[in-house]
């Protein structure tokens, strides 16, 4: 099947990797998402993955020095990235992990041109350690990396929800799902889909976004194949 996109940034939240667990990594979830990544990779889609870290640590939630806490959060994303590297390479997908905080024994440092070269050579690039800076999020990392590597779209795979709603559908049964939205509407309606830094970065750089559910079967492949699932933002 002809994919809809040539180059994508796939943002996976840490929460999605925990599966039914409260925290940590459910390797079955990582393996199942990796299979979908292999499918889109085999379709010829250049795929960069930005992994979150909320399954280990969220900087702002801890009662401690914020910057230190955020560095702990960034390290959590590296653990997730290595789990994906292992799962993908086990199914013969070549990968490179690039970290925004240097840890050369573990992974390459983030180098934009090298990341783009890896993608051109058919490697999946996994961006870890967020932006490398405290007070930011991995959603902002996805926006930043998508702009830097000239990705056509950011795919945001969410756990427990299949798009953007006007209120939380897990609390309000009358919540209404949007098929399409603009970034301005997200900001004006104060929809909690991404933090405002990430939203503004996408808006200013005109990077479209698709928000969809990770719980639905094969959703990443469906979105890349052009299905109308989820909510499109531009
Ligand atoms: N983080 C950070 N700078 C970044 C990206 C992440 O300080 O550029 C820290 C922050 O503490 C955050 C944690 O890493 O709470 C995990 O990232 P995030 O909350 O974005 O993960 P997700 O919600 O996607 O699992």
Which ipTM did the prediction report? Answer: 0.98
Tally helices (H) and strands (E) across the chain: 8, 11
Q: Whose CA is nearest to atom 21 of ligand 1?
A: 52
Q: Whose CA is nearest to atom 13 of ligand 1?
A: 73
Question: Residue 213: its pLDDT value, please?
Answer: 95
Choose the residue to mutate in 52, 61, 132 for probing ligand 1, maximizing ligand atoms within 8 Å of C-beta.
52
Residue 13, marked binder = yes
| Centroid of ligand 1 to alpha carbon of 131 (angstroms) | 9
The mean pLDDT values, 10 residues at a time, for the chain of 234 residues are 94 94 95 98 98 96 97 98 98 98 98 98 98 98 98 96 94 95 94 93 97 94 96 97
| Centroid of ligand 1 to alpha carbon of 36 (angstroms) | 24
Q: Whose CA is nearest to atom 15 of ligand 1?
A: 58
Q: β-strand 164-165 against 177-178: which pairing, if any?
A: antiparallel
**Token duo for residue 19:** 């599966």
Residue 53, marked binder = yes
Q: Is the CB of 73 under 6 A from ligand 1?
A: yes
Q: Is the CB of 58 under 6 A from ligand 1?
A: yes
Q: Is the CB of 80 under 6 A from ligand 1?
A: no
CB 30 within 8 A of CB 84: yes
Question: Residue 11: its pLDDT value, please?
Answer: 98
| Centroid of ligand 1 to alpha carbon of 3 (angstroms) | 30
Give the three-class secondary structure for 110.
coil
Cα torsion 36, 37, 43, 46 to 10°: value is: 160
| Centroid of ligand 1 to alpha carbon of 194 (angstroms) | 12
Question: Residue 199: its pLDDT value, please?
Answer: 96
Q: Whose CA is nearest to atom 23 of ligand 1?
A: 54
Q: Is 168 left (phi over 0), alpha (psi -120 to 50) or beta?
A: beta
Domain ranges of the chain: 7-233
What is the 8-class DSSP label of residue 24? S
Q: Up-side HSE of residue 8: CA atoms within 13 Å toward CB?
A: 25
| Centroid of ligand 1 to alpha carbon of 205 (angstroms) | 21
| Centroid of ligand 1 to alpha carbon of 105 (angstroms) | 22
Question: Residue 1: its pLDDT value, please?
Answer: 75
CB atoms inside a 10 Å sphere around CB 21? 11
Residue 54, marked binder = yes
Question: Residue 192: its pLDDT value, please?
Answer: 86
Query: Does 3.40.1160.10 match the CATH number of domain 7-233?
Result: yes
């Amino acid at each position: 099947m002809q994919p809809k996109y040539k180059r994508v940034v796939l943002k996976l939240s840490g929460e999605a990797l925990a599966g039914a667990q409260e925290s940590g990594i459910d390797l079955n979830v990582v393996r199942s998402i990796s299979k979908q990544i292999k499918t889109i990779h085999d379709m010829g889609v250049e795929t960069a993955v930005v992994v979150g870290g909320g399954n280990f640590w969220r900087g702002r939630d801890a009662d401690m020095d914020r910057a230190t806490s955020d560095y702990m959060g960034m390290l959590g994303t590296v653990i997730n990235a290595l789990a994906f590297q292992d799962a993908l390479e086990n199914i013969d997908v070549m990968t490179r992990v690039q970290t925004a905080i240097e840890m050369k024994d573990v992974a390459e440092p983030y180098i934009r041109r090298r990341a783009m070269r890896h993608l051109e050579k058919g490697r999946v690039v996994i961006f870890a350690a967020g932006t490398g800076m405290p007070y930011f999020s991995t959603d902002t990392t996805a926006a930043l990396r998508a702009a830097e590597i000239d990705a056509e779209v950011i795919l945001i795979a969410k756990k427990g929800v299949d798009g953007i709603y006007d209120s939380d559908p897990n609390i309000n049964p009358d919540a209404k799902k949007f098929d399409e939205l603009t970034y301005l509407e997200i900001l004006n309606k104060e929809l909690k889909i991404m933090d405002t830094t990430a939203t503004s970065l996408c808006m200013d750089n005109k990077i479209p976004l698709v928000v969809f559910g990770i719980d639905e079967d094969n959703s990443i492949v469906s979105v890349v194949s052009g299905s109308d699932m989820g909510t499109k933002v531009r």
